[in-house]
Structures are given as C-alpha cells and as structure tokens.
Structure 1
Amino acid sequence: MELRQYVAKVDLAKQTELGKVKLIAYYYCNTEAKSTFMLNEVTTILRDIGHPISNVSRLKSYLSKSKDFRKITDGEYMLTPVAKENLSANYAELFFNEDIIVSDSELLDETLFCGKRGFLDKLIKQVNHCYDHCCYDAAAVCMRRVFEITLILAYENLGIQNEIKKDGEYVMLEKIVANAINNPTLAISRLRKEYDSIREIGNYAAHRVLYNTRKKRY
C-alpha cells in the first residue's frame, strides 16, 4: 500500500503527534520489513506528507514515557509487541488482505458504478488501481472486461439476452457491440460511437505483441 493511501485509511490528520509517529513507524516497519525504526526517518516522513513534528525534544520525552515504544539506541526505537498487536488488529489487513483493492475514482467513478454487484466492484477498483499506478495495459484489459459484463447485464435486465447468444452461449464482444450499437430496445446513448474504441483498446492491450497502452489513449 502506498503511503498516501495508508495516511487516508488511518485518518492520520486526527491523531496526536505521538499517535502519528506510532502509525508511521508501523507503516515503515511493515513496508521495509524492519523491527526497529530511526526517529529522524519517521519525522522526516511526517514532514514530507504535511504533518511536521513541532518539538522533537518533547516528542522524545513522550516516547520515553509511552508503553508503546522501546528505545534501542540513541534515535532508534521499536514498537512494543503489545503496540504491534493492537495496531495489527486494526490495520494489518491494509498490508496483507488480498481481497482489499485500494483505489479511488481515477478512471471510473466508483460512486456511480460500485455497490451493485460485488464481483463488478472488484473489477472496477482494479481498473482504477491499475490506472493510478500507470499500468495502462492492465487497466485497458480490465476495462474491456467491465465493458463486456455491463453490456451483457444490460441485455439480461431487458430480457433480450438471446439476441447476443449462439447455441446458448454469449457471442464474442465484437458481435455484442455490433448488435448493441443498433439495438432499438437497448437504446444506447450518444456514446455508442465509443464502444468499438473501448473494445479495441482492450484487445490491443491483451493481444498485440508490440503494443503498449498509453494514458492518452483513454
């Protein structure tokens, strides 16, 4: 998980200075696979993300009195086992739960598209996560899949799914799009001209050997 996403998830802005150090130390130890942390590294991280420590000497005094920290050497600390356990109870899934896809509406507006079908939510979040991390080929392939699924669901919702089936199975996306563009029951909006573009970009990303999807293609 990226730091900016972690900061938002743990609501860092609402924490005390000691609480901020504890949360960032926990993040640092998890992402760097270390058991200890240097205080100056943690305070530098806090400064860089807009949460500077106003008085480091006072902070050190707080650390020495806190049951959540143990001093190793001058400037080096570790979170106590109890502190780690408490933090893990609340935040471990942010690092280790594979079912959690951290994303925002980078490409598809999740406030509009999510919340209807669980399997579709995961795909939409994968599109946004890939796009946000500049994995444009992956985003294009996932987008093609979301596009195909939503089209099929639209046909099913109107009870006309047999129009895009052959021998009981759904036809290829190219034929679904050809039908959808001119289907009076489906009544696609003015965006129908873009349907082939979405399909083609996904196809290029998945099958063309020398092709790389770029941001400007979206």
Structure 2
Amino acid sequence: MRLTTFLTLVKFSSKKEIERIALLTFFDLKIKSKETFTLSEMGFTLQELGFARPNASRLKDNLLKSKDFVRVSGTTDTFKLHLRVVERLEREFPEISSKSEEVISDDTILPEGLYKGTRGYLENLAKQINASYENRIYDGCAILMRRMFEILLVLTYRHLGREHEIQDADGYKNLSTIINYTKSNRVVTFQKETEEVLDDFRQIGNFSAHKIQYNCKKGDIDKIRLPFRAAVEELLYQSGIKK
C-alpha cells in the first residue's frame, strides 16, 4: 500500500498530532519493517506531508506522557509504538501488510519536485541517488549523496561571493574543513537538526569510498535520509538555484 492511500484510508488530516505520529509509525513498521523513529525524523516527515513541524521539546514531552509510545532504552529521543497499540491498529487496518509487493512511492531519497527544473547535472545526480537507493546499491548511494552535498555547498558559497573562503592553493579545501568553517562562521545556515548531522553525509560517503571492509547498509542511509533531503532543499534556495 502506498503512503498516500494509507493517509486517505485513516483520515489522517482529521487526526490529532499524537495520533498522526502513531499512524505513521505503524505504517513504517508494517511496510518498511522500521520499528522506531527519532524526534527529528518525525518532524521532517510531518513537514514533508504539509503539516506544521512540531516543537521538539513539546513533542518529546507529549510522547513521554502518552501510553501509546515507549522510549527506546538507552536513548533520549528515539521512540516506538507500544505493542498494545500495534495490535489495535492491526485489527483496525488488516489491509496494511509488509508482504505487499507494490512499490512504495515515498521510498526514495530526493522527491522529483525538489530537483526538477534546477540544473541538468543536479537533476541527473539526484536521479542517480534515487536509483542507487531503490536498487539497493547503498555504497554508491552514499558516495553520490556526499557528492551532491559538496557540490551544493560550493555553489552556495559561489552565489554568496565567498567562494575564495573555501579555496586554497590547490583548489577547494576538503569537505570536512568546509563543513567546520560553515558551522563556525554561519556563512550558510541550516536548521539545527540538519546542522547536527552535516558531517554524517561526508563520513558515510567517505566510508563507502575508502574503507576496504565497510559496506553501507539501508539502515545507514535511512538514518540520514530526511536530514539530507532537508539540507539539499536549504542549499538549493541559499545557492539561488531555487527561488
């Protein structure tokens, strides 16, 4: 079942915020076998669906108070549905099955609406990122995601007339240096949740490219998928590519 079909089925728009989160978590559990979510992930998901992004502190308090959710042991902001709730939703929506062979339309990295009409080479790169993820070529996906992030970061500095700040005698400085400079000098701004994982985009790409015994897994990509999408969108606007 597609996410859009599910949202219509459960009358998602009429639900309260905590109910929406329960339904999205249930969908991910049944369709993607993903049991847990972080506050940041859920905030991005709700925002992408066109709803207001909840305040993280308020959301955390509401989840802790709710009997429908359980905080994952050893974490501060990772939650899952209580088994009782899963069983109730399974009875209410028996048509939701992880055995469905239908392709899930939202199971990608960058939605077409984000990159379409930007620049040809960016569109091609975005399509390669999506294709590698959808075809389970996760090392390739990680490397391409790193490349996309680095390109957009450079284009943003260029648009701001500050490209020289990330260059040295040999050309562009390494991505780690550029990220640290960006975060400390606030040349380019990101939402807090995105800024916290900027170096993860670089690191996972480097691991896939250079670590001999490392193989990137789907879970590695999924951890950074939503913040990566947010970073790409923010950079497309700050670089002047999208208006």
Q: TM-score, normalised by structure 1?
A: 0.50
> What aligned pairs does 1:75-90 form with structure 2 within 5 A after superposition?
none
1:212 corresponding residue in structure 2: 215
User: Does the Cα contact within 8 Å between 1:165 and 1:171 map onto a contact in 2?
Assistant: yes
**What letter corresponds to residue 196 of structure 1 in structure 2?**
D
Q: Whose radius of gyration is greater, 1 or 2?
A: 1
Is the 1:104–1:129 contact (alpha carbons within 8 Å) kept by the matching residues of 2? no
1:197 and 2:170 correspond: no
Alignment of 1:30-45 (within 5 A): none
Which of the residues 123, 126, 131 maps onto 1:124? 126
Hey, what's the Cα distance between the residues in 1 that align with 2:199 and 2:153?
13
Aligned to 2:180: 178
- In structure 2, what is the Cα distance between the partners aligned to 1:199 and 1:215? 17
5+ residue gaps, structure 1 = 1-48, 51-102
Question: Cα offset for 1:185?
Answer: 2.9
Distance 1:118 1:124 in 2: 10
Looking at both structures, which has the greater relative contact order when contacts are Cα pairs under 8 Å and sequence separation is at least 6? Answer: 2
Cα 1:205/1:168, change in 2 over 3 Å: closer
Tell me, in whole angstroms, the C-alpha distance in 2 between the residues paired with 1:166 and 1:211.
31
Q: Amino acid of the residue matched to residue 120 of structure 2? A: G
Compute the RMSD of aligned alpha carbons: 2.2
Superposed CA deviations along residues 20-54 of structure 1, whole A, max 9, x for unmatched, are xxxxxxxxxxxxxxxxxxxxxxxxxxxxx99xxxx
Q: For 1:105 and 1:121, locate their aligned partners in 2 and report how far apart those are by CA, in whole Å.
A: 18
* Offset of residue 110 of structure 1: 2.2
**Structure 2 unaligned residues grouped into runs of 5+:** 1-100, 222-243
* Counterpart Cα distance in 1 of 2:115 and 2:127: 10
AA matched with 2:205: G
Superposed displacement of residue 184, structure 1: 2.3
Deviation of 1:105 after TM superposition, in Å, equals 6.9
Q: How does 1:1-218 map to 2 (within 5 A)?
A: 106-167=108-169, 169-190=171-192, 191-218=194-221
For the Cα contact (< 8 Å) 2:132–2:141, is it kept in 1? yes
Give the deviation of 1:188 after TM superposition.
Answer: 2.6
Q: Using the alignment, how far apart are the partners of 2:179 and 2:187 within structure 1?
A: 14
TM-score for the superposition, normalised by structure 2: 0.45
Alpha-carbon distance in structure 1 between the residues aligned to 2:139 and 2:164: 32
